Structure 1
Amino acid sequence: MLKVLLVDDQKLIRDGIRSLLAISGKVTVVAEAVDGSQVISLAETHQPDVILLDLSMPVMDGIQTLQALQQTTLAIPVLVLTTFDEHDLVLQSLQAGAKGFLLKDVCLETLITAITILSQGGSYFMPSITERLLNQVKQTPKSSFAKPAVVETLTDKELEILALMAAGYSNKEIAQALFKSEGTVKNQCSTILSKLGARDRTRAVLHALELGLITGGFR
Structure 2
Amino acid sequence: MTIRVLLVDDQRLVRAGLRMLCSNAADLEVVGEAASGAEAVRLAERTRPDVVLMDLRMPGMDGIRATATILAARPATRVLALTTFDDDDHLYPALAAGACGFLVKDASPTDLLDGIRRAARGDRPFSPEVLARVVESAVDARTAPPAPPLARANLTERESQVLHLVSQGLSNAEIAERLQVGVTTVKTHIANLMAKTGASNRVRLAVLGLRPDH
Q: For the superposition of Structure 1 and Structure 2, which TM-score range results when normalised by the shorter chain?
A: 0.5 to 0.7
**CA distance in structure 2 between the aligned counterparts of 1:11 and 1:87, rounded to whole angstroms:** 24
Percentage of matched positions with identical amino acids: 38
**CA distance in structure 1 between the aligned counterparts of 2:131 and 2:98, rounded to whole angstroms:** 20
Please state if 1:6 is matched with 2:7: yes
Name the TM-score, length of structure 1 as normaliser.
Answer: 0.59
**Match for residue 129 of structure 2?**
128
Is contact 1:35-1:59 (8 Å) kept? yes
Change (3 A) 1:59 1:126: same
Q: Aligned AA for 2:138?
A: Y
Q: Aligned AA for 2:11?
A: Q
Unaligned runs of 5+ in 1: 133-163, 182-219
**CA distance in structure 1 between the aligned counterparts of 2:37 and 2:96, rounded to whole angstroms:** 17
Q: Secondary structure at the residue paired with 1:124? A: coil
Structure 1 runs (4+) greater than 4 angstroms displaced? 170-173
**CA distance in structure 1 between the aligned counterparts of 2:83 and 2:115, rounded to whole angstroms:** 14
**CA distance in structure 1 between the aligned counterparts of 2:48 and 2:105, rounded to whole angstroms:** 24
**CA distance in structure 2 between the aligned counterparts of 1:3 and 1:46, rounded to whole angstroms:** 9
**CA distance in structure 2 between the aligned counterparts of 1:42 and 1:48, rounded to whole angstroms:** 9
Deviations along 1:98-117, one digit per CA (max 9) or x if unpaired, are 00111111011111111111
**Match for residue 34 of structure 2?**
33
**Match for residue 119 of structure 2?**
118
- The structural deviation recorded for 1:32 is 0.8
**Match for residue 49 of structure 2?**
48
Q: Aligned AA for 1:96?
A: A
**Match for residue 98 of structure 2?**
97
- The structural deviation recorded for 1:33 is 0.8
Q: Aligned AA for 1:65?
A: A
Is contact 1:21-1:108 (8 Å) kept? no
Is contact 2:103-2:130 (8 Å) kept? no
- The structural deviation recorded for 1:67 is 2.5
**Match for residue 20 of structure 1?**
21
**CA distance in structure 2 between the aligned counterparts of 1:3 and 1:17, rounded to whole angstroms:** 13
Question: Which of 169, 174, 185 matches 2:138?
Answer: 169
**CA distance in structure 2 between the aligned counterparts of 1:167 and 1:50, rounded to whole angstroms:** 28
Is contact 1:8-1:34 (8 Å) kept? yes
**Match for residue 89 of structure 2?**
88
**CA distance in structure 2 between the aligned counterparts of 1:28 and 1:102, rounded to whole angstroms:** 19
- The structural deviation recorded for 1:91 is 1.1
Q: Secondary structure at the residue paired with 1:125? A: coil
**CA distance in structure 1 between the aligned counterparts of 2:136 and 2:6, rounded to whole angstroms:** 27
**CA distance in structure 2 between the aligned counterparts of 1:12 and 1:73, rounded to whole angstroms:** 28
**CA distance in structure 2 between the aligned counterparts of 1:106 and 1:54, rounded to whole angstroms:** 14
Is contact 2:102-2:130 (8 Å) kept? no
Is contact 1:130-1:168 (8 Å) kept? no
Please state if 1:109 is matched with 2:110: yes
Is contact 2:85-2:130 (8 Å) kept? no
Name the TM-score, length of structure 2 as normaliser.
Answer: 0.60
Is contact 1:18-1:28 (8 Å) kept? no
Q: Aligned AA for 1:66?
A: T
**CA distance in structure 2 between the aligned counterparts of 1:113 and 1:73, rounded to whole angstroms:** 23
- CA RMSD of the aligned region, Å? 2.5
